[in-house]
Amino acid sequence: MTLVKVLDYIRIFVDILLVWMVLYYTLKNLRKNVKMVLLFKGIIFILALKVVSYVFSLTTIDYLLNYVLEWGILALIVIFQPEIRNVLEQLGRSQLLGRHKVLTVDEREKVVYEIVTAMDAMRKTRTGALIVIERDQSLNDYIEKSKKIYADISSELLVTIFFPNNPLHDGGVIIQGDRITSARAVFPTSDSSKINKRLGTRHRAAVGISEISDCIALVVSEETGRLSCAIGGELQYNLSSDELKILLLNELKPKHNMLIDEDDDEELKIEEADTSEKEN
């Protein structure tokens, strides 16, 4: 094998690798954007209908679909410009090496304990709160426009931030790893029809930011004191403290340490059960 052929093989390999990376990160970010997923499903449906009309010689349908495909791309770019821009922004915000800090079992347990303790305390006093936990996709765009804190996470600090007379209580708190990064963050609100109309701005902001990123958005209702969690554009409403704790432990689990963490989580559940028995 000559050197020229080796270089050709390397060139082909690099070419395929780059195409694979583009497709992978595009589909990865597309999957986490609810609106773009619906758009993608619509495109697949139209293409499937086109194939069916061609195979079965459905002249009228085929004629109409030709016009749809001819002008549809331009129409989609115009109509769905905000969603397409969000996907491109997500590609820019994505961290190629994953989460900026992979929490150990003890760190994850502490973060979840502090957050749940704070939310439970605010639930009892009906203090409104919005807490957003960053995962693989960076939230730096929102951090830059908010009030920087960069403090170790603690339930006392979270409760203090959302105290009604505190100038930082408006907006949301962003958590990166085991640190509170910023407060007074403003997030886009969702216009999804699935959200109950009785729910306020905090819940819509939680769903909105979860639609365009892979974060975990937590809400304490100021009116009812109920706890909610938004992930991937889906809102889980009226959670108990225990349900919220289990959900966070699972969602914050490092993806590449799943097998190791399962054993650690079993030990954690046993310790939690022993603690509950002692308290009872």
Largest CA distance in the chain: 76
Q: Look at 238 and 90; give whichever has higher pLDDT.
A: 238
Place of tokens 């022993």: 274
Domains located in the chain, CATH noted: 3-93 (no CATH), 105-279 (3.40.1700.10)
What are the start-end ranges of the E strands in the chain? 129-133, 147-152, 172-176, 179-185, 216-220, 227-231, 234-239
Tell me the average pLDDT across 108-118.
96
Helix/strand/coil for 99: coil
Q: Average pLDDT of the chain? A: 81
pLDDT at 33 over 80: no
Interacting residues of 62 by C-beta distance below 8 A, sequence separation 6+: 50, 53, 54
In the prediction, which pLDDT does 88 show? 64
In the prediction, which pLDDT does 228 show? 96
How many Cβ atoms are within 10 Å of 52's Cβ, its own excluded?
13
Which of 84, 90, 199, 82 has its CA nearest to residue 134? Answer: 90
Residues 44-92: tens digit of each pLDDT: 888 888 888 888 888 888 888 887 777 777 777 776 666 666 666 655 5
pLDDT at 259 over 80: no
Helices then strands, each counted (H, E), the chain: 10, 7
In the prediction, which pLDDT does 75 show? 73
pLDDT at 274 over 90: no
pLDDT at 99 over 50: no
Residues 192-208: tens digit of each pLDDT: 878 888 888 999 999 99
**51, two tokens:** 């194939």
Q: Look at 174 and 95; give whichever has higher pLDDT.
A: 174
Which of 141, 114, 119 has its CA nearest to residue 129? Answer: 119
